[in-house]
Structure 1
Amino acid sequence: MPATGGRRRAPYRRRLRSRIIVSFVLLGFCLTTLFAFATNWARARVENQLVEDVMNRNIDEYARRFQFDPSRSPDLPVQQIRAFVYTPDKFDRVREERPEWAELPNGNHNVTGLEENGKAFSYKLAVRKTPEAWFFLAYDMTESIRVEQQLKRALFISVLVFSVLSLVLGWWSASKVMKPVSDLAARLRAYRGGTSDPEPLAPRFPDDEVGQLAQALDDYSARLTEVVQRDREFNADVSHELRTPLAVIRGATELLLTRPDLDPKVLQRLQRIQRAEQQCTDLIGSLLLLSRNERGQGNSNVWRVAEQLLEAHRAQLGGKPLELMLEGDRELVVDAPESALSVALGNLIGNAVKYSQEGSVRVNVTGDQVEVTDSGPGLSAEDAAKLFQRGYRGTHAGHSQGGGIGLSIVSRLCDLYGWQVSVRPGETRGVVATLKFSPAA
């Protein structure tokens, strides 16, 4: 399972510029649609009231004139209106010719249908029924319906036009509103931390919300720069102060190793001190590179480094029945100093030796990678998920020494050099750790 997986992508969110544009479009569309609906509703209501008022006044006037002189058919002063009056002797005729009229109660009614030639008709019918006569007043609504359809088309086009105008206005407003934010983001992206004293952002922006954000970023950058500077100075001081006693230890050990009359047990312990000093020196150098986020210079032969590491562990096995084997490509070279490669590969080999009580630890250098296979107790699912987290100690760690930061350092070195590290359970038992290198420059 890779421990140095790529950065997880954040869930997609619509950009702020797009949200502003969509808000303008929705606002323009909703307001225009609401206005169009209100306009059409008001027109229909007012027209209906006017028509009904005209029809009520005319049918009342028609009835009054009929009662005054039944033999005279009074003229109506309004166009588009047809009047019908039926005396009691013609009630049956109405029921036969216009049964829908005969069933209508007094009041105003909407009548629609198709004529014999298939042409649609629509009119508003006013009904007044008295024992002396039935009065019908028909107002032709065909022209009103045609005007209503034209108005609806005009309103629909208006909605589309104003929606497009809202889109253009939203695009322009979003560009104006987001330009300072985009400029601020561009300046932040352009800055890569090349100087210890970054250029302030706030003076380049007006004293508004974006300017306040730039000022807050400047304050944060100043505090962060101060912390990073202190951290670098601390790491450099610690590295220097630790290398001085290590150099003394190295010189004293080398001097003692030149003596020909050394006891074999003393010689073995001096060699162990020498290897421990070299491991500390490599670790300090790697940690200093990690703190500076800088790659060390140099090329390293993977076979030779692995061989040195295995030799160091063979001297520390004591009576443990464990076989350490090295096989594969002797010519693989990586673009990294031996100190960094020794720390990364040494942690993988060290863990394999530590947790394997018997059997073998096999280091196979092949292609552009190196595999470390052990015969230890294996790997649980929880260990596989958290193994490269800082401070995590596996379920098989028991009372062994270590703070659980070795594999975390390996993971950080892999991020620095573009390598990949992963661990997986072995085919039958144990663990297979793989360190894959990037091509040498």
Structure 2
Amino acid sequence: MIQRSTTLRVRFAIWTGGLLCVTLLLFSGFVYWQTAQGLSESLDTGLQASALQITASLSGEQVNIEDGQITLDEHLSDPTLLAQLQTQGLTIRVLDRTGAIRQAVGAYQHAPVDPVSLRARSGTPVWHTQILPDRTAVRVYTVPVYEHSQSVGLIQIIQSLEPVVETLQQLQTAFVIGIPALTVLTGLASYWLAAQALQPITNIIRTAQQISATDLHARITLPPTDDEVGRLAATFNSMLARLEDAFRRERQFTADASHELRTPVAAMEAIITVTRERPRSVTEYTQALDDLLVQTRRLRSLIDDLLQLTRSETRYRSTHTPVNLSLLLEDVTETMRPLAEERGLVIVTEISPNLVVVGDSDSLIRLWLNVLDNAIKYTPRGTITLRAFRTGDQVTVTVTDSGIGIAPEHLPFIFERFYRVDPARSGNGNGLGLAIAREIVRLHHGTITVTSELGHGTTFTVNLPTDLG
């Protein structure tokens, strides 16, 4: 079985050559037909003109009609006239009403009389093509001759079709040789052009084959162009950059998650090991259990946060609905107010009514809980102010605290997973709260930014679109 060609350049060459071949065949057929028609009409016109010239001379001295019989004058056998007829390839014959040849001049004077030509006795000239015994094709034009409105005979003008046949054969030979040659040349040219055009694709394939999950540094190097291939290469390089960054972040996340999960587990193991070394009092056992409970809660919080990061996108896509953000922020603020008052903080709210966004209410609650919890955790004293208002087709929410602030070198990284600002921000958190907040905002097609001045507090600003379109 012949294996089907899968190379794009081969298929392109075959299709181009095939289409050209079909086009040339149709065109050559049309040209051949038109040429044959033109040559035939030209031949017939010449025969008809010769016949008219002869019949017009019936009243002259060159034609004699006696006793109902027609003969040509003897001087038609003049050598000069014969030479002229020979040059033109014409044969003139005079037939009586029975079809017998009365007189003939020319190369085909002895050709058999075709019965078809005798139909001219009815008064209508007859055209027909006749094949002679030597396989020569001739064109015959037969016209009737009248005397006193009575048909007295026929005049035939005969001319060979050999020039027409030779011309058509030469044309056919040109087509037979030219069409395959042009088809092959076009196919080769198409293959070369396709190879040149697809060379960047080959480079892309080679680059893709070099890429693995552990090595995403390879890039496509092509001259900068604004065509489809250039844009494909740029898109591919951009995709590789995103993949490389995603793999880097996932590897970092895996390493950080392993470290964070190991810490409470190691603490729990140490507590149990120390407690089992010798008998303890009830107070000591109670203290050990309390310590285990603290580590267990920390481990559960960490696991919940990790699950939140992995499930947030799926949950958001399946539950996005209109959410009254004004009411939601009021509820979240009231939930966090006791925790703030316990630390001696005051929460101030300035929320415009009827602020509606499209999203997942549970995710939005988690977003504001994390932001407010972060503000409470790192504000030793003072106030926390939450403002919400509409700005164009967005809702803007700001949370400003009067806490310890963040140094400028840490601001670009505070939304990274497990990132902590040391030493002041190395408290009880696991470093995932703001990362979760950023992910929730991203899934709502919004933005979250932070501004801070060390020792003068921090402001988080969240912009959410009112309609996702």
TM-score by length of 1: 0.49
More strand by share: 2
Larger Rg: 2
TM-score by length of 2: 0.46
State the structure with bigger RCO (CA 8 A, min sep 6), 1 or 2.
1
